[in-house]
Structure 1
Amino acid sequence: MLHTDHSPSVAAPDSGVPAATTVRSAVLDLLRAFGMTTIFGNPGSTELPLFLDFPADFRYVLGLQESVVVGMADGHAQATRNAAFVNLHSAAGVGHAMGNIFTAFKNRTPMVITAGQQARSILPYDPFLFSGQATELPKPYVKWSIEPARAEDVPLAIARAYYVAMQQPQGPVLVSIPADDWARPCEPVAPRAVSTRSRPEPALLGAIGDALDAAARPAFVVGAAVDRDGAWDAVRALAERHRARVYVAPMSGRSGFAEDHPLFAGFLPAMREKIVALLGGHDLVFALGAPAFTYHVEGFGPHLPAGAALVQLTDDPQTAAWAPVGTSAVGSIRLGVEDLLARAMPATVLARTPPPVREAAPRAVPDGERMSVAWLLQTLAELRTPDSVIVEESPSARPVMHRHLPILQSETFYTMCSGGLGHGLPAAVGVALARPDRKVIALIGDGSAMYSVQALWSAAQLRLPITFVIVKNRRYAALQEFAPTFGFAPGAPLEGCDLPDIDFCALARGQGCDAVRVDDAHALAQVLRDALAAPRPVLVEVEVA
């Protein structure tokens, strides 16, 4: 059983009655115990009382806009495997942050969000900058939200929020705190050991194991929860045991399998008919830490190829509930796969012939007036170290990335599971803050970058050696490429999708980052080599076709 792994920091006195303290002190002690001494925020007036006599062992990370704050916290929480602590400003701040709160919810990122509220004594008068329905505002994209009935209940609310955020499926929670609560007396709250994972039901897991043993041509479809739950190695071992081809689930925000492994079969698109076609020939599909399946457009026909059955292991009961077919076991991905590996292996499984190895993508060449995205990503793949971390938000480049920028190790790829833009730039800052031992590379489209470009300032102020690569195609290319799905003729004009005249180097330098523009394919390698070696943040604006 996993738990918070923190010891209580507040002891009751000999009398048996807890010593009085303030809400501020009790909350700070809890945050220390939970390992959350980094606070991500953009302060407003109702948050100031928290920062009175701000403790020296805490770090405040300032974002210049609330969506940047939540994006940084998301990257930090994923990289540390612990909930991030976020401080936002009442209704306006939470409203600004909602896009990335939505993404954190879809990413299953544990996050304790506090939102300032006006003083309790003036709430009956609808005061300036208050939140009228503070607990309702972030719904449905938080797991739990509360404005405690009494000031002295705030520490208990923070403790519960942490435990809820960390329990699978993980996610953000919100606590609204009136400004005059922080100085009120209260009893201290000791942290507790609380389980965050559960083992899948043995009978259902046994049925999945039997199906795997009986299958002749199994396929695994792995999702973000494989990497989130530390199951990368166990899933590889299970795939090797069953000689299963391994696909990455549609819209997966993390990588769950090495893309240079002989069993790796590629990426499934978010379209029903194409998924069925790609999985054709398999008699069993095992969805691991992924919905079965995520669709982006309306589809028709069966959800599986003829003759195939579906089994699923997910950490999310809701995902299991809406799956249209198959057997679903709910619980920890890592614990469930470890239980499957503990089963005796039939001789028939050992006798299976491994599936054919996926063909490698043809190498890109540096031709044309502007370099191709394939050339950019192929060059980056050749220069980066395998343990460097890619934080990606370039939707139109993602299919090319799948062919030319393989992810080879666990916890080296992050993107958004939501499809909402504005996550990648600040998430890279959060990951770099959490993992100073790794090189972080932010691969961001020019359209995506403008949703949260203020994150460059935070990177510069924190002196984080991030390499920001802006894939500049001067348009919302993903929309233009998606338009034929809705009846547009290929290449037909599409309003509101052109992005001329944005100078990303100027934007970066204005916020304290070094920057360089490159449009020559033959010069790209040296520019990237210099940026990757720099001890400070560098933005590389790459003009692509």
Structure 2
Amino acid sequence: MTARSLHVAPLPRSEGSTVRDAVMRLLADLGMTTIFGNPGSTELPMFRDLPYQFRYILGLQESAVVGMADGYAQATGRAALVNLHSSAGLGHAMGNLFTAYRNNTPLVVTAGQQARSILPHEPFLYAERATEFPRPFVKWAVEPARAEDVPLAIARAFHVAMQAPRGPAFVSIPIDDWERPCASLTPARVSGRVGPDPLAMDEAAAILTAANRIAIVAGAGVANNKARDALVTFAERLGAAVRIAPMAARNPFPEDHALFRGFLPASREAIVRDLGDADCVLVLGAPAFTYHVEGAGPFVPAGATLIQIDDDPAKAARTPEGLAIVGDAALAIAALLARVPTRSTPALAAVAPLPPPAADWLTDALLMARLSALRPPGIAIVEEAPSTRGPLHDFFPVRAGDEFHTCASGGLGHGLPAAIGVALARPGEPVLCLLGDGSAMYAIQGLWSAGHHAADVRFVVVNNGGYAALDQFGALFGIDVVGSKLPGIDFVALAEGQGVPAARVDDPAALDAAIADLFRGTGPRLLEVIVVQE
């Protein structure tokens, strides 16, 4: 299915005569010509005579709209533009707005507001406290005092979204502002990167040079700041093992590298145990640490010195001990490479991979192993399958050159639309979207957008009949979880009903053929895999 376009007019060649003209010229200058939205009545004037340079990506629910924009912004490294309906539409989007905030995804979110002249009368579809509603999950929010201030507000929202730490910014725009007279605005050029303090880097380098057993913990900030290759060079220079930080939303280090030592759990005692006898723990692009359960005791192994580097001052402020430095991971690693000598330590042997899982029945472990073996090289992966994350880590290594995205917030409904956004940002390159059956139902209408916009996403739904991750967590508390079973959902029918070809497999002997068919050709496809819980 091909996308229908709203491109109907060129950008105005002369000075913008209205707020809409000025905003469209500004958006073009900022490179935000892809708009993710689900329009309502208070937003329609924004799109009168939409210039042909723009494309409108329609989502059938506002949460899916923000998820698509999140994936697109992560894949492009640039702020994406989201247009939502006032109040109720923004409310629908709040779950994925929270995820974008936790993912450090740069978004400019606009929402309509009723006409200024009737705001005192509390009209239908107006937002009473428009700037308060999305807080605290936006970095900045404004409803301009004057119509002619709308372009400047959007320009500021863009710069705020792109400044470290990146995240969403929000602008509420009354419906009658778009037709008001307004001059064009030439946006400033603002650098959003944060360089680390040289004196603090001297101190960190001295600690690392004196250490004997260095453990590196890498988070999503390494990927967000395009520092993966530099981290590989740095880890090899130190001969230091690398672990991935708890709940990391992107891949900071190749999982098939000899220095890779797995994923830290979100548990205080387990982190200390996994770091072993390290005498220096260097955390890059992540907090120290993200916990999911209550814990006690030390934060790092006894006698170890903690160094934490991230471009978010709030993460630095809550670092419990040691040395916390605010700075871009790429700039920080470059500074350390200039200060820390190469170590003549014995080479660490690669950890032997786990043996292939048995093929007696179709499990998520077998599925991950066969997906890994049969995937196209360099494919981007978007994951939202919490109960399958263990087998994913065990049998599906994310390698150098791969892109991996997941949800940092713990909410559901992000993965399916985010995969569509990633695909739209990477034309000609397929995307694998791995979903649990429960997760998929939070944003299943996103499949329509995948088909309508011909997004090259291969959806795999791991159908175990319920919220299995919740059952696993309930077992830790000795709780029999209620409301965790999801019998009878037909994902093939749901996909085909929205224009996406689909198939189902429940036999391990047929799995390889089903995966091969999934990756054949182009365009969206869905494979429902019926798995047995081990």
Pair in the same fold by TM > 0.5: yes
Secondary structure of 1:539 counterpart: strand
Alignment of 1:148-163 (within 5 A): 148-163=144-159
TM-score, scaled to structure 1: 0.94
Alignment of 1:67-466 (within 5 A): 67-343=63-339, 345=341, 349-368=342-361, 371-410=362-401, 412-466=403-457
Equivalent residue, structure 2, for 1:52 = 48
Aligned equivalent of 2:506, options 509, 513, 519: 519
Deviations 1:18-46 (A, max 9, x none): x5621101111111011110000000000
Question: CA contact under 8 A between 1:425 and 1:449: conserved in structure 2?
Answer: yes
Deviations 1:475-496 (A, max 9, x none): 10111001133233xxxx3210
Equivalent residue, structure 2, for 1:481 = 472
Question: CA contact under 8 A between 1:316 and 1:331: conserved in structure 2?
Answer: yes
How far apart are residue 358 of structure 1 and its match? 1.7
Find the aligned partners of 2:69 and 2:452 in 1 and give their Cα distance. Answer: 16
Secondary structure of 2:151 counterpart: helix
Find the aligned partners of 2:202 and 2:435 in 1 and give their Cα distance. Answer: 43
State the AA in 2 paired with 1:517: R
Deviations 1:354-407 (A, max 9, x none): 234223112112113xx0111101000001123101100000101110010110
How far apart are residue 344 of structure 1 and its match? 5.5
Equivalent residue, structure 1, for 2:61 = 65
Secondary structure of 1:507 counterpart: helix
Deviations 1:206-264 (A, max 9, x none): 11111111111100000001001000000111100000000000000001000000000
Find the aligned partners of 1:504 and 1:330 in 2 and give their Cα distance. Answer: 45
Deviations 1:159-193 (A, max 9, x none): 00000000010000100000000010112110221
Question: CA contact under 8 A between 1:232 and 1:410: conserved in structure 2?
Answer: no
Question: CA contact under 8 A between 1:314 and 1:332: conserved in structure 2?
Answer: yes
Equivalent residue, structure 1, for 2:8 = none
Aligned Cα root-mean-square deviation (Å) = 1.3
Alignment of 1:527-538 (within 5 A): 527-538=514-525
Secondary structure of 2:92 counterpart: helix
What's the % identity of the aligned pairs? 55
Find the aligned partners of 1:84 and 1:486 in 2 and give their Cα distance. Answer: 41
Find the aligned partners of 1:498 and 1:440 in 2 and give their Cα distance. Answer: 29
Find the aligned partners of 1:456 and 1:51 in 2 and give their Cα distance. Answer: 25
Find the aligned partners of 2:196 and 2:499 in 1 and give their Cα distance. Answer: 49
Equivalent residue, structure 2, for 1:541 = 528
Equivalent residue, structure 1, for 2:5 = none
Unaligned regions of 5+ residues in structure 2, if any?
1-10
Find the aligned partners of 2:524 and 2:401 in 1 and give their Cα distance. Answer: 24
State the AA in 1 paired with 2:44: L
Find the aligned partners of 1:539 and 1:33 in 2 and give their Cα distance. Answer: 37
Unaligned regions of 5+ residues in structure 1, if any?
1-8, 14-18
User: CA separation of 1:505/1:411 partners in 2, compared to 1, >3 Å: closer, same or farther?
Assistant: same
Question: CA contact under 8 A between 1:10 and 1:188: conserved in structure 2?
Answer: no
How far apart are residue 411 of structure 1 and its match? 5.4
Find the aligned partners of 1:287 and 1:350 in 2 and give their Cα distance. Answer: 19
Question: CA contact under 8 A between 1:90 and 1:130: conserved in structure 2?
Answer: yes
Equivalent residue, structure 2, for 1:6 = none
Question: CA contact under 8 A between 2:67 and 2:414: conserved in structure 1?
Answer: yes
1:43 aligned onto 2:36? no
Secondary structure of 1:46 counterpart: coil
State the AA in 1 paired with 2:412: L
Secondary structure of 1:174 counterpart: strand
